[in-house]
Structure 1
Amino acid sequence: MRTTLSVAGRTRSFTVIGEADGPEERALVLVFHGSKQDGEAHRRFTGRALDQLATNGRAVIVYLDGYRGNWNDARAESSFPARNEQVDDVAFARAVIVSVSGTHRFDSNAVVGVGYSNGGQMVFRLVHEAPELLAGAVVIAATMPDRAGFLAGFSETPKRPLPIVLVAGTADRIVPFEGGRMAWWARAMFKVGGVTLSAPATATYFARRNGINSAPVVSLLPERQDGRHGTRMEEIAYRETGRASVTLYSVLGGGHTVPGVVPAPAMLGRTGADRSIDEIVDDMIVALKQSA
């Protein structure tokens, strides 16, 4: 069901997947697409993997549409229209939650933000600027900007610690796993700039924000036995009792892709298969319910 609403004088749109009268203990999953996409394009891009969580009553899935293909994330050197025109995407996310709460039953304490690429950067903004909107976050193919390039309050002390899951390809040609600046062609194509942390440094940053000082536990995920062959994935888990967890899934040799059944176009690189995006998000939902 595609819905429109007015936010800060602009007409915005989103699509809701899930029965209106489903279980009230369902999570609400807000999905933020990548650059040059919209919600429906991202839904196709991922093979509608997250829709399964709506089908089995685990969550209401909402695909939000960015402004002219982008989100006004908090990167200081971005120059696409959403950034140049200072589109209020935090207000949009807030309005979507309110709107869906009036049409669908879900657990207001189990709202999860899921973002890919530019959408992942938007989730980083929400985590820092409006953490009260979320109970957890899953970010794919995006790493934190450095302090100078982040406008939403780079901080070691969060208003509200949240569990965070990161997914990053070690061979991502668009968002370097090792951090630094994007390649010149990627900066020109996507109209972004600035310096980012590496994927491991991003995980460490969020672990410290959540008060975790222990060293992470590193393990290779079990290889799938269901015929889904693809790039292997490594889990780097930051855990401490009483602290919101942080997990980094490194897709070994993986590209700028979302892990799952449907491989991304070859130009984006290899796709992880040991744990798909719907399983990652469902794991987050289970953890939220257990900690409630």
Structure 2
Amino acid sequence: MRRTFTVLGAQEGAASRRLVLVFHGSKQSAAAHRRFTGDALAPLAQRGEAVVAYLDGYRGNWNDARSESSFPARRRGVDDVGFARAVVDRLRATCGLEGRSAVMVGFSNGGQMVLRLLHEAPDLVAAAVVVAATMPAPENLLDGVADLPAAPVPVAFVHGTRDPIAPFAGGGMRRWAQVVFRVGGRTLSAPETAAYFAARNGIRAEPVIEVVPPRAGSASGTRVVRTAYRQEGAPPVVLHEVRGGGHTIPGPRPAPRVLGRTATDVTLLELVEEALAQPRSTGAGIERA
């Protein structure tokens, strides 16, 4: 199968540059997702800090780990885990990158794809940023996914409390959304998802909860509450709860009104920059260049 992706960043550059893979939402493409975010991650490539690859799903979807779905990528059995691995290998070779893994960024169905990668290919994931997606409930997981050994990886989550498509409280999506996006089954809540990954990372300490200070001039009608799971020797897991937020990506570019309000007190670029600052750890341990 012929697959496509768009790369930001010069082929020539420092070998120490990091790699960022971006997975769009349902019914989007790489190009549409870049427009949707206002090309939020372009500065990483412009500054020479990272090579950013926007991947195209099969007919607008990713074959994520939810078992009760019937979108085209699932019906055809598309190997999107293999696609992610092939992109990492290709860009390591063509851009001369030292690292063996990438920061994985996903929105909605793309976030679900990143959750699958965290389970099935943790060696590929240096860190993850997941927006508007929560962990499938145990009965809604593909066979074998829940049985895979845990691999500690830093993860940041962002989720709006008034998300009209992927409920913050978990459970099933609304009927119209199930029909439109051809998905089904139950998911965990956003807090349960963060706690699940904190436990996978071996964090036993209680989380620290704080309100993110509002930016000057912020008028989006949202507030961000950060729940951070941290413990010495374990990769952190952080949930950014966007109170009043919708099915949106945080940053200065508001989403269409039908999707709800967009947080401005944190941005996607900042979250990815924080992920890039994490030690180069993978599911196999600390990555050595």
Aligned pair partner of 2:152 in 156, 161, 166: 161
Cα distance in structure 2, aligned partners of 1:145 and 1:273 = 28
Cα distance in structure 1, aligned partners of 2:278 and 2:218 = 25
Residue 53 of structure 1 aligns with which residue? 44
Residue 75 of structure 2 aligns with which residue? 84
Q: Look up the SS of the partner of 1:246 in the other structure.
A: strand
Contact 2:129-2:157 at 8 Å conserved across structures: yes
Cα deviations across residues 149-199 of structure 1 (Å, max 9, x unaligned)?
A: 1115225951x2101111100000101100100010110110000000000
| Residues 289 and 129 of structure 1: CA distance in aligned 2, closer, same or farther (over 3 Å) | closer
1:245 aligns with 2:241: no
Structure-1-length-normalised TM-score:
0.93
Cα deviations across residues 108-136 of structure 1 (Å, max 9, x unaligned)?
A: 15511100000000000100001111111
Cα distance in structure 1, aligned partners of 2:280 and 2:44 = 15
Gaps of 5+ in 2: none
Aligned pair partner of 2:14 in 4, 9, 23: 23
Amino acid at match of 1:85: R
Report the CA distance between 1:222 and its aligned residue: 1.5
Contact 2:230-2:237 at 8 Å conserved across structures: yes
RMSD over aligned Cα atoms: 1.6
Contact 1:172-1:269 at 8 Å conserved across structures: yes
Cα distance in structure 2, aligned partners of 1:26 and 1:240 = 28
Deviates more, 1:136-145 or 1:106-115: 106-115
| Residues 99 and 110 of structure 1: CA distance in aligned 2, closer, same or farther (over 3 Å) | closer
Residue 223 of structure 2 aligns with which residue? 232
Report the CA distance between 1:74 and its aligned residue: 1.1
Tell me the matched-pair count.
Answer: 281
1:255 aligns with 2:246: yes
Cα distance in structure 2, aligned partners of 1:27 and 1:284 = 11
| Residues 105 and 229 of structure 1: CA distance in aligned 2, closer, same or farther (over 3 Å) | farther
Q: Which runs of 4+ in 1 moved over 4 A?
A: 289-292
Cα distance in structure 2, aligned partners of 1:286 and 1:218 = 21
Gaps of 5+ in 1: 1-9
Structure-2-length-normalised TM-score:
0.94
Contact 2:212-2:225 at 8 Å conserved across structures: yes
Query: 1:192-207, aligned counterparts within 5 Å?
Result: 192-207=183-198
Report the CA distance between 1:202 and its aligned residue: 0.2
Amino acid at match of 2:110: G
Report the CA distance between 1:105 and its aligned residue: 3.4
Cα distance in structure 2, aligned partners of 1:105 and 1:115 = 25
| Residues 197 and 82 of structure 1: CA distance in aligned 2, closer, same or farther (over 3 Å) | same
| Residues 21 and 105 of structure 1: CA distance in aligned 2, closer, same or farther (over 3 Å) | same
Report the CA distance between 1:56 and its aligned residue: 1.2
